[in-house]
């Protein structure tokens, strides 16, 4: 084993690294109707840009998590950012829809490094109640990404066209790489040598037989599925059914941001009083209540009631998700 002196990264660095995948996902949503029209594909085909992102993201999480265990968090993060940059360049230059989907997969695969590796960095750097509070603070700061992504994407698409959304992402990728190169320390203090890798099969079997892995794995997957489904469908619902402009849809991201901020504030107040399991249960109950109300709101057809119900769902989810990740 190779010992590496443990250092703690700054909170700002953690926030930007864990947040950029969300921005990369949500910045694209206001451009979906325009992209579908420009490339002469149906709305359902246009949504492939979102579903392909999620598929490659899931595969990337598996790859970068294992890769960072072998080579370290810092090298894995830098490698992922290079892949992410390559994907964004390909998206900007894509001549047709098929090539665009291909590079969307590359972009997402690279972006996933920010999710899985940053979470590992946080767990290695902070523990216990301190860890819960750090996760909550990061969650509060990440509330800006659901608001920033659609708003930035809406403004860019309105004034410069949907392709220049990728130009913004290229600038972000280069900036992230340089910032990470300069500021990210190695937090995995026990790096496994290639010649002394633990047996893979026993680890897999241990994970498969651990009920906690299944419970929290399904919980996190379900929450992310809800969030991803919202970002895929919401542009068409609000921009085509409710006739919002790209910028107005971008402003709608503030609702998601506010739910995340209030969720993080709620966690900070509850974490010293009740345990994580109880917080998770109450968050899920609140999200389910919002979902039932949302079904009723969809029949009424009032946009403000619709948005209020979405806020309740996201508020519950943003209470639950940080607790499931600890």
Domains of the chain and any CATH numbers: 2-325 (1.20.1250.20)
Place of tokens 């010649």: 195
Write out the two tokens for 109: 């695969």
Closest of 144, 138, 132 to residue 269, by C-alpha: 132
Those residues with Cβ within 8 angstroms of residue 95's Cβ, 6 or more apart along the chain or in another chain: none
Residue-level pLDDT at 211: 79
Instruction: Kindly report, residue by residue over 115-153, the tens digit of the pLDDT.
Output: 899 988 988 888 766 677 777 778 767 767 767 888 899
Tell me the whole-structure pTM to 2 decimals: 0.79
Per-residue pLDDT band for 73 (boundaries 50, 70, 90) equals very high
Residue 324 in contact with residue 288, Cβ under 8 Å?
no
Write out the two tokens for 84: 């992410």
Residue 179 in contact with residue 14, Cβ under 8 Å?
no
Backbone angles phi, psi at 51, to 5 degrees: -65, -35
Closest of 59, 105, 322, 71 to residue 191, by C-alpha: 71
Residue-level pLDDT at 1: 42
**Alpha carbons 278 and 139: distance in angstroms, whole number:** 19
Residue-level pLDDT at 146: 66
**Alpha carbons 182 and 162: distance in angstroms, whole number:** 32
Residue 95 in contact with residue 76, Cβ under 8 Å?
no
């Amino acid at each position: 084993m190779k010992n590496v002196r443990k250092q703690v990264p700054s909170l700002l660095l953690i926030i930007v690294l864990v947040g950029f995948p969300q921005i990369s996902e949500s910045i694209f949503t206001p451009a979906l109707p325009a992209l579908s029209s420009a490339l002469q594909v149906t709305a359902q085909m246009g949504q492939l840009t979102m579903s392909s992102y999620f598929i490659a993201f899931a595969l990337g999480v598996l790859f970068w998590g294992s890769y960072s265990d072998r080579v370290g968090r810092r090298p894995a993060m830098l490698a992922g950012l290079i892949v992410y940059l390559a994907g964004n360049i390909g998206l900007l230059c894509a001549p047709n829809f098929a090539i665009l989907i291909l590079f969307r997969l590359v972009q997402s695969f690279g972006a996933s490094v920010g999710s899985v590796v940053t979470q590992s960095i946080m767990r290695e750097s902070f523990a216990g109640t301190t860890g819960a509070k750090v996760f909550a603070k990061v969650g509060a700061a990440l509330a800006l990404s659901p608001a920033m992504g659609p708003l930035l994407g809406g403004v860019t698409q309105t004034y410069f066209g949907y392709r220049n959304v990728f130009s913004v992402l290229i600038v972000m990728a280069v900036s992230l790489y340089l910032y990470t190169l300069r500021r990210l320390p190695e937090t995995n203090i026990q790096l496994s040598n290639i010649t002394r890798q633990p047996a893979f099969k026993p680890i897999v079997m241990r994970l498969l037989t651990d009920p906690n892995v299944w419970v929290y794995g399904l919980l996190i997957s379900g929450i992310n599925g809800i969030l991803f489904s919202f970002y895929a469908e919401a542009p068409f619902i609000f921009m085509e059914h409710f006739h919002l402009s790209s910028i107005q849809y971008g402003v709608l991201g503030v609702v998601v941001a506010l739910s995340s901020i209030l969720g993080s504030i709620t966690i900070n107040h509850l974490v010293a009083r009740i345990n994580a399991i109880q917080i998770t249960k109450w968050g899920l109950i609140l999200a389910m209540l919002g979902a039932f109300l949302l079904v009723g709101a969809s029949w009424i057809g009032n946009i403000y009631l619709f948005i209020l119900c979405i806020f309740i769902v996201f508020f519950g989810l943003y209470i639950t998700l940080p607790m499931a990740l600890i």
